[in-house]
């Protein structure tokens, strides 16, 4: 059977329960790793306590006017929401490489499902797990421990949800595209390391984009990373409002289209490569 022929049954409405089942199974499989769950929550809280202490020390020594429009409570709020965004978007980006190495990918490609949607469903199962088991406890502890500014305007929640969904889509498509490099390279660790390095620096997960020098901001805006974490966080907490928020959300949509096209081209090339090699 030609690799990828099972994808003809990909997009019908009747197939939705199939992908939902993939997501549920992934969620259930994550429940088996109880120790990793506690470690994940501990690491998240440790991150928050370290960064809130660090930002508190920085702000106490920072001269007036050098705070880039963030007050100390706002920067603490940003650190918490940025972590929540990052944790909620965590997904396994090593699975495809492992399946390529073992040859299991050939069996995946002849299943009567769309491979990309199957991977997305699995990622969403992980996301549901992280929301219930890591994000919720982290938010609760942070609300009780820090002076967090919680948005009250309904618009913040609506725009924040849209920005989060688009940011999640960018994150998934970026991870998927990098994972597909396993079809051409035996070892993809260096590519993943590069991706995480760029994400850590330019996504705003550690330092908000506002703190970067003005000459660097156009280059950062031309990359997809700030639209994954900084945009949902800044829009939700109301740091960016009005036309600025709508512009960032529109740019998120542009990046979803761009990365969707890249992943589509790469996936079709990967299928052809597997067929040529007799997979």
Task: Give the pLDDT of residue 15.
Answer: 66
**DSSP codes of every residue in 230-249:** HHHHHHHTTSS-HHHHHHHH
Task: Give the pLDDT of residue 14.
Answer: 47
Report whether 192 contacts 198 (CB < 8 A): no
Comparing 29 with 9, which gets the higher pLDDT? 29
Q: What is the DSSP letter of 175?
A: H
Structure token digits, residue 215: 């000459």
Task: Give the pLDDT of residue 6.
Answer: 52
Lowest model confidence (mean pLDDT) among 12-26, 47-61, 105-119? 12-26
Q: Is the pLDDT of residue 2 over 50?
A: no
Report whether 263 contacts 255 (CB < 8 A): no
Structure token digits, residue 18: 């199939």
Task: Give the pLDDT of residue 180.
Answer: 93
Contacts of 174 (CB under 8 A, 6+ apart): 195, 224, 228, 259
Report whether 76 contacts 252 (CB < 8 A): no
Per-residue pLDDT tens for 48-87? 888 888 888 888 777 665 566 788 888 889 989 998 898 8
Task: Give the pLDDT of residue 95.
Answer: 83
pLDDT band at 174 (very low <50, low <70, confident <90, very high): very high
The fraction of the chain above a pLDDT of 90, given in percent, is: 40
Per-residue pLDDT tens for 208-240? 999 899 999 999 999 999 999 999 999 999 999
What is the C-alpha to C-alpha distance for residues 279 and 276, in angstroms, rounded to an integer?
8
Closest CA to 115 of 129, 91, 131, 99: 99
Q: Is the pLDDT of residue 10 over 80?
A: no
Ramachandran region, residue 238 (left: φ > 0; alpha: ψ -120 to 50; beta: rest): left
Q: Is the pLDDT of residue 206 over 70?
A: yes
pLDDT band at 113 (very low <50, low <70, confident <90, very high): confident
Per-residue pLDDT tens for 146-164? 888 899 999 999 999 999 9
Task: Give the pLDDT of residue 38.
Answer: 79
């Amino acid at each position: 059977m030609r690799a990828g022929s099972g994808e003809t049954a990909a997009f019908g409405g009747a197939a939705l329960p199939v992908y939902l089942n993939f997501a549920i199974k992934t969620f259930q499989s994550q429940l088996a790793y109880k120790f990793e769950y506690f470690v994940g929550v501990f690491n998240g809280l440790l991150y928050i306590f370290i960064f809130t202490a660090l930002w508190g020390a920085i702000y106490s020594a920072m001269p007036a006017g050098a705070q880039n429009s963030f007050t100390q409570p706002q920067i603490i709020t940003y650190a918490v929401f940025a972590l929540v965004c990052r944790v909620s978007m965590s997904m396994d980006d090593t699975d495809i490489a492992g399946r390529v190495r073992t040859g299991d990918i050939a069996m995946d490609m002849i299943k009567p499902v769309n491979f990309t949607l199957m991977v997305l469903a699995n990622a969403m199962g992980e996301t549901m797990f992280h929301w219930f088991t890591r994000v919720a406890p982290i938010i609760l502890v942070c609300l009780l421990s820090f002076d967090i500014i919680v948005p009250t305007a309904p618009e913040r929640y609506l725009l924040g949800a849209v920005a989060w969904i688009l940011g999640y889509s960018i994150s998934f498509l970026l991870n998927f595209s990098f994972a597909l490099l396993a079809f051409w390279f035996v070892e993809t660790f260096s590519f993943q390391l590069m991706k995480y390095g760029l994400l850590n620096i330019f996504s705003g997960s550690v330092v908000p984009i506002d703190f970067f020098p003005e000459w660097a901001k156009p280059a950062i805006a031309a990359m997809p990373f700030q639209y994954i974490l900084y945009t949902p966080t800044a829009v939700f907490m109301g740091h960016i409002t009005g036309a600025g928020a709508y512009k960032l959300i529109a740019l998120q949509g542009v990046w979803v289209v761009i990365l969707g096209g890249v992943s589509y081209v790469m996936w079709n090339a990967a299928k052809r490569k597997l067929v040529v090699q007799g997979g």
